[in-house]
Amino acid sequence: MAMNSDALRAESVRKVYRGRGGPDIEALSGVSLRVLRGERVSLLGRNGAGKTTFLRIASTLLAPTSGSVEVFGIDAIADPESVRPFLAVVPQEGKPFMHLTPREQAYTYLRARGFAKETAKSRAEHALEQMGLTEVADRLSITLSGGQRQRVMVATVIATEAPLLFLDEPTIGMDPFARRGVWDSFRELTRKGSTILLTTHYLDEAEALSQRLYIVDRGRLLAEGTADQLKHSVGGTLRVSVAFGDGISTQLATFGPLVRDGDTVHVITSPHRIQELLALAARSNLTATVGPVTLEEAFLRVVGRSINDES
């Protein structure tokens, strides 16, 4: 097989869902992206932005309307069967077999993928341990909580150690401890050589896990880069949050881009303008706090700009 540093390369991927009794829906409008081997990359976007559609196309589960997708240099559109042995997928809102235990679920899935009994057994045990499921490993999944079931799904898939993993909101419904356990397992997987493309709505997760991020909205890629690059791209490195700052938003806007969050106006600005900005807030009898720009603000800013452009 030809060597290639790209685990995934997508060019101009477009997907139009035929409307059933309604208009057609363009879910992806020419998305191009690359994921290098061994990378952890996140796709961020609002609900309905096209993340899951892209993941399903890249993982050979959905045919695009046009465009190309290569997985490890193999044409995934023309030859999905050659690509599939290298993939593993955690589907969005998937559930394990309710009448299997987590141990059975992971073990039988690995066996179905062709792993030898001993390998399947040891990998299943390791994955269950990583996901903190050892204590419930012999309970039927029907008796587990939603978060535990999701951990069973993740354990089942990470046990494959597949070269390319597609994880669609893998930590949804998990508690903060479980999420961190999942993050550690993803890091271990990429250290061993796997590549991960995931979607998430938890921006702290995206920042903690991803070496690069793509922001998608309305089927288009809006931004790409590391978390730091995305944060810098919004016009400053610091955020000043002014409670009830709407009344002075015109003046605030002179310091940098604004992000509105309820009654609070966040101003993205540079360190040398902080004193001046705090003084303005004090003169207006408003409370202001200073902190670093977060990925969430960068995301809101990037997507918000896109929404404004549309309107």
Partner 1 sequence: MNLEAPLPTVARSRWTGLGAFIGTELRVQLHEVLSIATSIIVQAVFLVFVAVLARQYLSYTLIGAVVFSTFQIGQRVQNEAAWIRIDHKLHEMYHASPMTPEAYFLGMSVGVLLAYCAPIFVLFAAAAYFVGLTLPVALVLLAVLGGEFVFTASVGYMISTWFKNMRSIWPYSTLFFNFFSVLPPVFYPLWLFPPALQPVALILPTSGGTALVEHAAGILPLSAEWIALAAGSLVVGASLAFVGAVYWARRISRER
Binding site for partner 1 (CB under 8 A): 1, 3, 5, 36-38, 56, 59-63, 72, 80-81, 84-97, 99-100, 104, 108-109, 111-114, 140, 153, 156-157, 160, 163, 166, 190-191, 193
- Termini Cα distance of the chain: 48
- The type of residue at 297 is E
Q: CB nearer to partner 1: give 10 or 293.
A: 10
Q: CB nearer to partner 1: give 90 or 298.
A: 90
Which neighbouring-strand residues pair with 239? Answer: 268, 291
Q: How many CB atoms lie within 10 A of CB 283?
A: 10
Give min distance, CB of 43 to partner 1, in A: 17
Give min distance, CB of 24 to partner 1, in A: 13
For residues 300 and 262, the answer to whether their CB atoms sit within 8 Å is no
Q: CB nearer to partner 1: give 90 or 216.
A: 90
- The type of residue at 148 is Q
Give min distance, CB of 305 to partner 1, in A: 33
Q: CB nearer to partner 1: give 56 or 212.
A: 56
Q: CB nearer to partner 1: give 109 or 214.
A: 109
Give min distance, CB of 109 to partner 1, in A: 7
82 burial level (CB within 10 Å; 0-12, 13-18, 19+) = middle
Helix (H, G, I), strand (E, B) or coil at 188: helix
- Measured CA to CA, the distance from residue 266 to residue 157 in angstroms comes to 40
Give min distance, CB of 11 to partner 1, in A: 18
